[in-house]
Structure 1
Amino acid sequence: MGGWDRFNSIVFVMLKLAYMNILWIFFTILGLVGFGFFPATVSLFTVARKWLMGEEPLPIFHTFWHTYKKEFLKSNGFAIIFTVIGYVLYYDFTFVGMNSGKLTFLVPVLVLILIAYVITLLFFFPVYVHFDLSFWKTLKQTLLIALTSPLEAVQIALAGVLIYGAVNLLPGILPFFTGSVLSMIVMWISLKAFGKIEKKKGSESFPEQHEKSL
């Protein structure tokens, strides 16, 4: 019976992950992809955070829908900022590449900016759903946490690489276990990073946790 219970538990977890992933894809498409990706991903990370923090029962669809509606405009504001910065970086690297003989000295600076951009993006969704911060403070806190958590940033990047490799080996898992599994791993790693920073700084100087009313 113990083995059967464990099997049922594993199957139940897999079904929840598949359901989360399908909802993530559905809500991304609902926002015409471009306007749906950030709010759908925020919703996905909200569910992942609640699950990891032991909030039961967890109404997955209700949490998704409520968060998607509530955070649609604000999260898309961040999407615009990240998109613009990404485009500017792409343009800068292209421009330097076309004038490599004259502007080579700019490459190290651009690489450092790119690294800061990538690790900030890696931690953005966990910070967004975990802390109750204003628009600009969210970006500032995300950057600070990213820069002070290099080990966790590497772990998140490795998780992304492993999932990418798994998708290449088993393309059939793409609509069921990509975003949901990655969100759970990233949120778990990020919660550890938040805990370490909280211990170093003290709870008084650390932002309040973000609690959404359902």
Structure 2
Amino acid sequence: MGGWEKFNKVAYWMLKAAYINLLWILFTCLGLVVFGLFPSTIAMFTVVQKWFKKKDIRIFQTYWRMFRKEFIKGNGFGLIFLSLGYFLYYDFLLLQANHGSLQYLYPILVFILFVYILTLLFFFTVYVHFQLSFFQYLKQAFLIAVVSPLETLLILAAIILMYIMITILPGIIPLFPGSILAFVTTWLSRRAFQKIKNKQVKQSTK
């Protein structure tokens, strides 16, 4: 592949990433943010997942179909994550305002926060990759994060790096953050899934 072909390939990929990111923002706003965030993110991860499978898809039609299909169920998960996130935020503020009297709750809240973050990191990739029952998605996302420490750390590192880039170049917000993180998370998650599958195959052949 020549230099010009490589450039075209990278440029085309960046255009698709920017398009997906714009769709993510548009459909999130279409659901008034609160009701659009999770269905839109699920749709974005679905499109990215299909890219990894090298499927030729119509991006907008696929996105719109998944957004509608997952609107109710996605908001069910969104309600769980957003409510728990608000609960943790409020409780940490409460502990800071009551120095000493409620400090024994800190370890409990830190543990809940730890479980919350690990589950959320892998939730969307588990959701679009597997067919599970409602709460099995949450359980499997957490377990995969625990048994895949390298991939978990790399996803966290990617999120931190993207945050730093946004603070330096806020103009990229409409173009890349969501889709790039979806791509990185999907790639690392698929690697984690494959490692787990390989271990299961080895154990079954013993």
Q: TM-score, normalised by structure 2?
A: 0.92
What's the RMSD between the two structures over aligned residues? 1.8
Question: Aligned AA for 1:144?
Answer: L
Shift of 1:123: 0.8
TM-score by length of 1: 0.89
Q: Structure 2: which 5+ runs fail to align?
A: none
Query: Which runs of 4 or more aligned residues in structure 1 lie more than 4 Å from their structure 2 counterparts after TM superposition?
Result: none
Q: What is the alpha-carbon distance in structure 1 between the residues aligned to residue 196 and residue 162 of structure 2?
A: 27
Identify the residue that residue 33 of structure 2 maps to in structure 1. 33
Matches within 5 A, 1:50-129: 50-55=50-55, 57-129=56-128
Query: Which residue number corresponds to residue 155 of structure 2?
Result: 156
State the 1:152 CA deviation: 1.3
Distance 2:168 2:109 in 1: 34
Structure 1: which amino acid aligns with 2:133?
S
Q: Matched residues in 2 for 1:93 and 1:109: separation?
A: 11
Shift of 1:129: 0.6
Q: Secondary structure at the match of 2:102?
A: helix
Aligned to 1:192: 191
**Where does the alignment leave 5 or more consecutive residues of structure 1 unmatched?**
206-214
Contact 1:126 1:187 in 2 (8 A): yes
Contact (CA 8 Å) 1:116, 1:147: kept in 2 or not?
no
What residue in structure 2 maps to residue 168 of structure 1? Answer: 167
Number of equivalenced pairs: 204
Aligned mates of 1:182, 1:29 — CA distance in 2: 19
- CA distances 1:50-81 after superposition (whole Å, capped 9, x unpaired): 111222x1211111011001000000000001
AA aligned to 2:47 is V
Partner Cα separation in structure 2 for residue 140 and residue 48 of structure 1: 23
Amino acid aligned to 2:173: L
CA gap of 1:203–1:131, structure 2 versus 1, over 3 A, is farther
Report which stretch shifted further, 9-18 or 140-149: 140-149
Q: Which amino acid aligns with 2:72?
A: L
Using the TM superposition, name which of 152-161 and 87-96 deviates more.
Answer: 87-96
